Structure 1
Amino acid sequence: MASLKAVGAKVFAKRIRKKINNWSSNPVETQKKVFDHLIKKGKKTVFGKDHNFDAIKSYEDFRLQVPIRDYEQLRSYVDRMVDGEKDILWPGKPLYYAKTSGTTSGAKYIPLTKESMPTHIRAARNAILCYIAESGRADFVDGKMIFLQGSPELQDKNGVKLGRLSGIVAHYVPKYLQKNRMPSWETNCIEDWEQKVDAIIEETVNEDMTVISGIPPWVQMYFEKLHQKTNQSIGTLFKNFELFIYGGVNYEPYRATFENLIGRSVPSIELYPASEGFFAFQDSQHEKGMLLQLDSGIFYEFVKAEEFFEENPKRITIAEVEKGVNYVMLISTTAGLWSYNIGDTVIFTNTSPYRVIVSGRIKHFISAFGEHVIGKEVEQAMKEGAEMTGARINEFTVAPQVNTDSGELPYHQWFIEFNERPSDLEVFAEKIDDALRKQNTYYNDLIEGNILRRLKITPVPRDGFTKYMKSIGKLGGQNKLPRLSNDRKIADALTAILDK
């Protein structure tokens, strides 16, 4: 018999699903309301005065007044906020700064405000409620739930709390879930990732875990260590494990390994959170893509990825996007980010309602020879190659190799850590290469024109990627390995580890 909490969750889920349907079926109107609110609030800020917000009456006005910016280009404003000034990008002072590590900027301080913070919490909650509304299953709310995340300990920065986003969010777990949540506060505060995972295992190994959430590679590490400790499958250990919630990286390259570790298939929900905003979540088990959050204080603009580096690329709103096109996503938010480039590229899988997949990073691509290969393409190629050969992948990354031995054509080098190697590595490489050529005509033309040779695979020994992430201080938490690079920085670091 269902518990009171499970029955209540089903009733609440239906109500929330109805609300979501209301705004998602009126997307342009919903975004206009967000836009008007942002401009009204922005007028009271230093940024708004600098960009003539008083004269903005339409999106066309906004586009003329506010250029595209990334963190570095917005930094002069952020630095003033961090120094303690108020009314800079948004009225008043932020509630928090989410600290992230930028590749060029060093530490980045992303503001979270009284208005923006609840949207992060609501979106995560609504993702689970949509699953309940669609599946009719809610018994898992009575079991234990684990969220693999950063430390919830916060620092003070001129009167504003500072920490990792996942650590900040830990302070907002609703009371009705507090008894279910794992690991303990003390364990969550452990900074060393390997020690933290060991402590989490001790706390959870004998519990009734029903929901497990985290970035796939780090959840995989948790599962593998659990299996080593108990010699049981995760599905046997946690008989009522019902739901895997993830974000940050594509689950597909990990799915076969997960199902092998669990011993069965488990429903999953994909989330698209970032320090800058909670942009989308998977609202259906039967539809491809994640529902774009159009009513969460975020106004979206899009630029075709192929045009992004032009001098004055065309910016469009949700009303003009098309399915199947690779877009750079820009955001203006109730945290005071304005036409801000978060660096992600997305593709719309549906426009009624608007659903997206994350296709990669605008800076993470390979085009050393004009091939324009993106993250979505290498992940799809890896998935197809693994399915055809029975390979199971732990982790991988791809880089161009331009400086080859005398007489050899350049190629793409795939560094792959296997859980289960294919019987024939050359056949596996051929399957991946064929899948990539089918998706990307530029790459295919370069192979056919003898500008590039077929890709080469460099096997990475067990825990090789863990050692690499540890060597750069990014082991665990919300850190993720780029799937591909247009240079040899990661490739050379991995090669050095392999040569030891």
Structure 2
Amino acid sequence: MSLKVIAAKIFARKIVRKTQEWAQHPVATQEAVFKKLIKEAKNTQFGKDHHFEQIQSYADFVQNVPIRDYEGLKLYIEKVVNGEENVLWKGKPLYFAKTSGTTSGAKYIPLTKESMPTHIHASRNAILHYIHETSNADFVDGKMIFLQGSPILTEKNGIKLGRLSGIAAHYVPGYLQKNRMPSWETNCIEDWETKVNAIVEETIKEDMRVISGIPSWVQMYFEKLQQKAQKPVGELFQNFNLFIYGGVNFEPYRAKFENLIGRKVDSIELFPASEGFFAYQDSQKEKGMLLLLNSGIFYEFIKSDEFFTENPKRYTIGEVELGVNYVLIISTNAGLWGYNIGDTVQFTSLKPYRVIVSGRIKHYISAFGEHVIGKEVESALQEAIQGTNIRINEFTVAPQITPKEGLPYHEWFIEFDSDTSGEPDNLEAFAEAIDQAMRKQNIYYDDLIVGNVLRKVVITKVVKNGFQDYMKSIGKLGGQNKIPRLSNDRKIADVLPKV
């Protein structure tokens, strides 16, 4: 056992103990975060506009600070972008994380000296919890790869600007620098396909032990590795035993990954965003990710089915229930206040508080009042492929409201893994299995089927690499970009290349 492995295990034990201290007192932890945020920001423009000096309780906060999305905070953010100080948070941000919005164009999310360390510590602590629980730390002696955006930063009025993953690349601790791949030069390549090809060349002969990234893009890397080496990834990287991911549910990809790797590997799920690092998987044995209650973020929750009503009730951590779909609202030490990030979550545990990401509040199908969410389609697909050889590369779902004949339906666009005979023998039977799983999960959908308002699921096959080609066509290939699981329109559905 190397000194690095021994040190990792000692450090892991320390971090787990510190985590347990705040996790055992969740309400008090959040109250302390709330009070500190209000105190630190009371002299900012936002704090003055919203009477922070008079806020003595959460009820005062609710009365003074409405729920907003990026558009709602845009006037304040524009002031920060233009170089003004003490607007949303004291002083100026260290960085802007630039993201692409659908309605707002480019979004500039502030990262401050108080918020930036929480992103780095959360990623580290997720790995340390894994080490502590499994006693597996040998991977620290091998190579690790993080598929991410370019670390090249620009400046806007003296504030550095880049993708969150590229900004985070500047904070990799020294003890990991020698292990970390790809090289800085390769990481700076902007074109995603060129970058992945270069990563394959750099890593194919290395002792890769940890691989991290969004599943769809890691899958692309694995496919290119397998094509070049003519062997499974697990045979090529014999010590590879840990996959770290975030951004999407891994389950729809799991069967394809195990085929590409040739065996099962452990995985750690993360819940990061430019607006904050919210949760990570702290246990291989428990469902869900530990919600980070001590990281400078105060959480509020609104029930999804009440979100679009007038003045929906806002819940704090001590009021949430298991299994309810909540819109996640945050106030942070980066200066986001009552901010709707667009994600929905469900609690899987209240001792400690663990969540799963159930979808996006804007990504749903409710063309007929069914309000189908991302978690439901992912679970239905997973149930339908269970025990079969069917493997899915990618999928999305959209309503067909005006079919040429017959009743409307939900259309599933699926790219099957045709390279490994991963297609269903009977497409109609597979569609029936998905439909039955959907009806069990969503009573509104079931009522529409029973009432002959909708007919059953229709599957349309997408050509090989069709989703990649689509993402490339809109300039969103690779990085942190993801295919929406659901759309309430057919903007994506109508342009996907079909078989």
Task: Provide, for residues 104-159 of structure 1, a one-character-per-residue CA deviation record: whole Å limited to 9, x for no partner.
Answer: 00000000000000000000000000000000111100000000000000000000
| Runs of 4+ off more than 6 Å | none
Inter-partner Cα distance in structure 2 for 1:95 and 1:175: 21
- 1:365 aligns to what SS in structure 2? coil
Inter-partner Cα distance in structure 2 for 1:456 and 1:390: 20
Deviation at 1:41, TM superposition (A): 0.8
Inter-partner Cα distance in structure 2 for 1:233 and 1:114: 43
Inter-partner Cα distance in structure 2 for 1:139 and 1:467: 38
Q: Is the 8 A contact 2:182 2:199 kept in 1?
A: yes
Task: Provide, for residues 350-405 of structure 1, a one-character-per-residue CA deviation record: whole Å limited to 9, x for no partner.
Answer: 00000000000000000000111000000000111111442100000000000111
Give the TM-score, by structure 2 length: 0.99
What does 1:318-467 align with in structure 2 at a 5 Å threshold?
Answer: 318-406=317-405, 408-419=406-417, 420-467=422-469
Give the TM-score, by structure 1 length: 0.98
Inter-partner Cα distance in structure 1 for 2:197 and 2:388: 33
Inter-partner Cα distance in structure 2 for 1:373 and 1:271: 24
Task: Provide, for residues 272-330 of structure 1, a one-character-per-residue CA deviation record: whole Å limited to 9, x for no partner.
Answer: 00000000000000000000000000000000000000110000100100000000010
What does 1:262-341 align with in structure 2 at a 5 Å threshold?
Answer: 262-341=261-340
Letter in 2 for 1:354: Y
Q: Is the 8 A contact 2:41 2:88 kept in 1?
A: yes
What does 1:142-181 align with in structure 2 at a 5 Å threshold?
Answer: 142-181=141-180
What does 1:109-258 align with in structure 2 at a 5 Å threshold?
Answer: 109-258=108-257
Say whether residues 1:477 and 2:475 are aligned partners: no
Inter-partner Cα distance in structure 1 for 2:149 and 2:36: 33
Length, aligned pairs only: 495
- 1:60 aligns to what SS in structure 2? helix
Deviation at 1:258, TM superposition (A): 0.3
Segments of structure 2 that go 5 or more residues without pairing to the other structure are: none
Inter-partner Cα distance in structure 1 for 2:495 and 2:31: 47
Deviation at 1:498, TM superposition (A): 3.3
- The corresponding residue for 2:495 is 493
Inter-partner Cα distance in structure 2 for 1:240 and 1:423: 35
- 2:493 aligns to what SS in structure 1? helix
Q: Is the 8 A contact 1:388 1:431 kept in 2?
A: no
Q: Is the 8 A contact 2:146 2:211 kept in 1?
A: yes
Deviation at 1:44, TM superposition (A): 1.5
- The corresponding residue for 1:33 is 32
Q: State the percentage of identical aligned residues.
A: 71
Letter in 2 for 1:175: G
Inter-partner Cα distance in structure 1 for 2:388 and 2:93: 51
Task: Provide, for residues 49-96 of structure 1, a one-character-per-residue CA deviation record: whole Å limited to 9, x for no partner.
Answer: 000000000000000000000000100000000000000000000000
Inter-partner Cα distance in structure 1 for 2:404 and 2:115: 53
- 1:316 aligns to what SS in structure 2? coil
- The corresponding residue for 1:67 is 66
Letter in 1 for 2:438: L
Letter in 2 for 1:362: I
Letter in 2 for 1:167: G
- 2:386 aligns to what SS in structure 1? helix
Inter-partner Cα distance in structure 1 for 2:223 and 2:136: 28
